[in-house]
Amino acid sequence: MSSVRPFLLSLSVLAIPHAATAAPTVLEKAQRQPLNIPAIVMFLIFVGATLVITWWAASRTRSMNEFYTAGGGITGFQNGLALAGDYMSAAALLGLTSMIFFHGYDGVIYAISFFVAWPLLLFLFAERIRNLGRVTIADIASFRLDQNRIRTLTAFGSLTVVCFYLVVQMVGAGQLIELLFGLPYNYAVVAVGVLMAIYVTFGGMVATTWVQIIKAALLLFGGTVLAVLALSRFDFSFDTLFSQAVAIHKGGAGILLPSKLVADPMAMISLSIGLVFGTAGLPHILMRFFTVPDAKAARKSVFVAAGFIGFFFLIVVVLGMAAIVIVGQDPRFYEGGKIGGKLIGGGNMPVMHLAQALGGNLMLGFLSAVAFATILAVVSGLTMAGTSAISHDLYVMVCKKNHATQADERRVSRVASVCIGVMAVVLGMLFKDQNIAFLVALTFGVAASVNFPILALSMYWKGLTTRGALCGGVAGLISSVALVVLSPAVWVKVLGHAQPVYPYDYPAIVSMTIAFLFAWLGSVTDRSDRAARERSRFDEQFVRAQTGWGVAGKTSH
């Protein structure tokens, strides 16, 4: 058990999609790369292109429905590529290749495990979410339950996830760009905050979607080109590639076998539960199902996203193994020219060194710019989810009882996006030198313990009542936060205690169970007339979830 904890902690930011390579425990304090002119030029080109897209999107965003969901006018293929863009991160490119470079098959286990959430989304959530919701996941949870209380709970759960994830992304942006571009940390954080506020405030979901699509295309293109260049060194033979990697790596044939990740099955199960069900509770992922015209397009978007993501992770495996051979034998990439020593730029740089070895500064600059574009795309999606929760759920539906004017709602949404941007910048600066690995555990723990149980039970269990949902959501939120504080990531690493109270870095195996238990207990003990009415509406909800009856392809808001 003890052997796996530091390993999981050190990978906690890198291993999870969307999470930036950010924390001091992950992004090592290392020698800064020389000023990368190609990367800066390509980054400026990308920023200029996305600002043009935002200007174009602003001219097309005339109603709040278009602001929140692009008017439901995104095709299944486009939304699938945008979903892939939300899921494929700088962490996947840098972190997973680094894991494979150092640990071999253990990194492959992580890459494969990320697929598990997508069949869950495809078969259990995609169609029902599209048929039952309009703007946010609170629309689904409150369909037959008390609007005010459930929307408030779900909105705060979503905002908690968004805020913690934004901290990770902002610290990641600062650390990564400081390392690769030579841009000071605070300037990088401010630049990301300003750009994400512009994308969301003026372009809404249309601009956010196209930023994600462009970023996904660039990442897939760059990764594919680099993989082809790498395989050409081995005559396009996987057998040759893996044989040479085994011969060179200090772990020998052991790199083709699982090792540290299976040292503690309970830790691995808790991590897997958090990844799978946490992904199914991330608001910025789930709200993408509202951007397509119907349930068929929602299913197609998940199918397309899974295909692109699967292809990308196969590329990552190739790049990681190729880096073992190419980077591992090149003294240029080691401090002091000592092979096997410390990599220049830190432990997350194997794929960047591989890019330089195969394509020179041009390929290195391209991948560096794509890494930054990845963070921009993710923070835009997060900001969009947070803005929607504030303006639609809390302001319009809770405060104004669905009687707010579009002008007022638009004004609140713009203020909310700017405030989220400012908050993200401030928190990014405050957490600059902090261990933020626990925030990733907390993010996925909250998503798996608050959002996922409420969504799943509201759609699949007739017996759920408002009291049960509140009990489950609050219990899941409190337990997930408490267990993270008591875990090795905080209790030992941050607070300095000798032994953790809770032995695992990820709380989902306990907190999600507590959430479901309290939701069940609160519901079965609720004998009120309101609870009876809520149960009686389940049949109506079931028909709509299955058939889409009563759902317009493009609704006005």
Tokens at 312, concatenated: 């990308």
pLDDT tens for residues 327-375?
999 888 888 888 878 888 777 789 989 999 999 888 888 888 888 788 8
pLDDT tens for residues 271-328?
888 888 988 898 988 999 999 998 999 999 999 999 999 899 899 999 999 999 999 9
DSSP for 444-470, written as a single string: HHHIIIIIHHHHHHHHH-TT--HHHHH
Give phi and psi for 546, each to the nearest 5.
-80, -35
Please choose, from the candidates 312, 313, 288, the residue with its C-alpha nearest in 3D space to the C-alpha of residue 301: 288
CA distance 253 to 322: 15
Which of residues 109 and 455 earns the better pLDDT score?
455
Helix (H, G, I), strand (E, B) or coil at 334: strand
pTM score: 0.85
pLDDT tens for residues 376-393?
888 888 899 999 999 999
- % of the chain beyond a pLDDT of 90: 38
- Across residues 413-435, what is the average pLDDT? 86
Candidate ranges 100-104, 262-266, 388-392, 552-556; pick with highest mean pLDDT: 388-392
- % of the chain beyond a pLDDT of 70: 89
The tally of domains found in the chain comes to: 1
556: in domain: no
The whole-number pLDDT of residue 453 equals: 95
180: in domain: yes
506: in domain: yes
One-letter identity of residue 191:
A
CA distance 389 to 29: 36
Which of residues 290 and 30 earns the better pLDDT score?
290
Residue that is written with structure tokens 């203020």 in the block:
415
CATH of the domain at 300: 1.20.1730.10
The whole-number pLDDT of residue 354 equals: 93
232: in domain: yes
Return all residues near 332 (Cβ < 8 A) that are at least 6 apart. 357
* Cβ neighbours, 10 Å, residue 471: 21
Residue that is written with structure tokens 């269990």 in the block:
461
Report which DSSP code applies to 392.
Answer: I
The whole-number pLDDT of residue 436 equals: 66
Residue 12 pLDDT greater than 60, yes or no: no
pLDDT band at 33 (very low <50, low <70, confident <90, very high): low
250: in domain: yes
pLDDT tens for residues 507-557?
999 999 999 999 999 999 999 999 999 999 999 999 999 888 866 544 333
442: in domain: yes
Burial of 103 (0-12, 13-18, 19+ CB in 10 A): buried
Please choose, from the candidates 376, 421, 414, 416, the residue with its C-alpha nearest in 3D space to the C-alpha of residue 194: 421
CA distance 109 to 99: 10
Phi-psi region of 542 (alpha: psi -120 to 50; beta: other; left: phi over 0): alpha
CA distance 5 to 277: 21
Burial of 16 (0-12, 13-18, 19+ CB in 10 A): buried
pLDDT tens for residues 61-81?
888 888 898 888 899 999 999
The whole-number pLDDT of residue 1 equals: 40
CA distance 477 to 440: 15
Please choose, from the candidates 205, 405, 374, 211, the residue with its C-alpha nearest in 3D space to the C-alpha of residue 290: 205
376: in domain: yes
pLDDT band at 4 (very low <50, low <70, confident <90, very high): very low
Return all residues near 147 (Cβ < 8 A) that are at least 6 apart. 397, 398
Give phi and psi for 425, each to the nearest 5.
-65, -45
- Across residues 16-40, what is the average pLDDT? 51
The residue count for the chain:
557
Report which DSSP code applies to 31.
Answer: P
CA distance 186 to 174: 7
The whole-number pLDDT of residue 435 equals: 60
Tokens at 465, concatenated: 């009542």
Return all residues near 406 (Cβ < 8 A) that are at least 6 apart. 63, 64, 557
Return all residues near 173 (Cβ < 8 A) that are at least 6 apart. 20, 22, 188, 189, 191, 192, 372, 375, 379, 428
Lowest mean pLDDT, pick from 227-241, 259-273, 458-472, 509-523: 259-273
Phi-psi region of 461 (alpha: psi -120 to 50; beta: other; left: phi over 0): beta
- Report the chain's terminal Cα–Cα distance, integer Å: 52
CA distance 437 to 99: 16
Residue 419 pLDDT greater than 80, yes or no: yes
Residue 428: which H helix or E strand, with range? helix 406-430
CA distance 488 to 483: 10
Domain coverage including residue 514: 38-63+77-547
Please state the three-class secondary structure of 9-26 as a single string.
HHHHHHHCCCCCCCCCCC
Q: How many helices (H) and strands (E) does the chain have?
A: 25, 0
Residue 242 pLDDT greater than 80, yes or no: yes
Which of residues 539 and 40 earns the better pLDDT score?
539
Residue 23 pLDDT greater than 60, yes or no: no
Q: What is the mean pLDDT of the chain?
A: 84
Residue 118 pLDDT greater than 70, yes or no: yes
Please choose, from the candidates 5, 91, 116, the residue with its C-alpha nearest in 3D space to the C-alpha of residue 438: 5
Q: Is 320:100 a contact under the CB 8 Å cutoff?
A: yes
One-letter identity of residue 377:
A
The distance from CA 417 to its chain's CA centroid, rounded to whole angstroms, is 19
Residue 186 pLDDT greater than 50, yes or no: yes
2: in domain: no
> Which residues, in sequence order, are bridge partners of residue 343?
334
